[in-house]
Structure 1
C-alpha cells in the first residue's frame, strides 16, 4: 500500500469513529426515537408513528402547556401525553370538559365532544405536571397515575417522522 492509500484509509477510519461518537452523544444526551403505541393520543397519533424526542429541552426550560411529553413510571416503561397543568394549577374534569384554574380548556386537537366521568379538583404539586392523553376516554394519564414529576420526563416530542406524508415539527 502506498502512502496515499494508507492516509486515505486512516482518514476514513477516523471519520467513521467520529461519526459513531457523534451519533452516540446525540442519541444519549440530545435526541432519541420514540414509537407511539396504543390509542391514548388519538387523533394526534394513531399508533406506530415514529417521533423524535428532545431529551435536553427540560434541562433548559420548564414544560409548557400543550407540550407532548414522553415520561417513565414505575408501573410501565413509557407514556406519551400532553401537558395540561403545571405546578400550582388546579385541574378538574366536570360536565365532560377539562378545567384549569376554573376555566374550561380550548382543545382543538381533540375529536371527542365530551369526556366521560368527572375528576375532582387536583392541585399540581411543585416539580410536577398534569398530563393527559388526547383520547381522553381511552387514556391512562394523570387522572389515574397522578401528576408526573419533571425528573420522570424523558423528553418532548419535537418531530413526527412517520408516516412520511404527516412528517412535521410538533412544537409551536
Structure 2
C-alpha cells in the first residue's frame, strides 16, 4: 500500500461498521487473505461494478475516476503507467464484480499482490476499515482517500 501506508505503520481498524455491511469504494481495508495472513488494500470495485483501466485512468461503470492517493507515485518523474491497461473480464473472466465480492488494488500498483493476481475478495473476509495511522507519530493520518 506504499506510499499511503508503509511497513511498520501502526493502524486503527474499525471492525464494527463493516460487520454491518458498510463497504465503500476507495476505503482502505484489512481482510483475511489466508488463514495466517491479513492484507491491507483499497476497495476499487463493489458488487455489480464494471472495472477497467485505459491509459492509467480508472473507469467504473464507464465513468472516469481520479485517484489522488497515487499522486506521489506519479510525481516521481516517470511517465510510465502505474496500473496498466486491463478490463475486469481480462483479469477475472467476469464482466462485473459478483455479489458478495469486492475488487481490491494496492496503491503500489507496480508491485502489489491484489485482485489482479488473486481475483475477487469475499466481503465476509473483510476485518475492517483503516481509520487511523498512529505510528510513526509524525505521519499520523486519518485521510487515505486524497
* Bin for the TM-score computed over the shorter chain: 0.7 to 0.9
Match of 1:138 among 111, 119, 131: 111
1:104-144 CA distance string (max 9 Å, x none): 22011103342253322341111111111111111111111
Is residue 66 of structure 2 the alignment partner of residue 99 of structure 1? no
**Contact 2:3–2:107 (Cα < 8 Å) also in 1:** yes
User: Alpha-carbon deviation of 1:48?
Assistant: 1.1
User: Which aligned runs of 4 or more in structure 1 are off by greater than 6 angstroms?
Assistant: none
Match of residue 44 from structure 2 = 84
Higher relative contact order (CA 8 A, sep 6+): 2
TM-score by length of 2: 0.80
Let me know the Cα RMSD of the aligned residues: 2.0
Match of residue 142 from structure 2 = 169
Give 1:1-172 correspondences, 5 Å limit: 41-74=1-34, 77-110=37-70, 111-113=72-74, 114-122=81-89, 123-170=96-143
Q: Which has the higher helix share?
A: 1
Kindly name which structure, 1 or 2, has the bigger radius of gyration based on alpha carbons: 1
TM-score by length of 1: 0.69
Structure 2: unaligned runs, 5 residues or longer: 75-80, 90-95
User: Alpha-carbon deviation of 1:74?
Assistant: 3.1
Paired residue total: 132
Distance 1:155 1:116, change over 3 A: closer
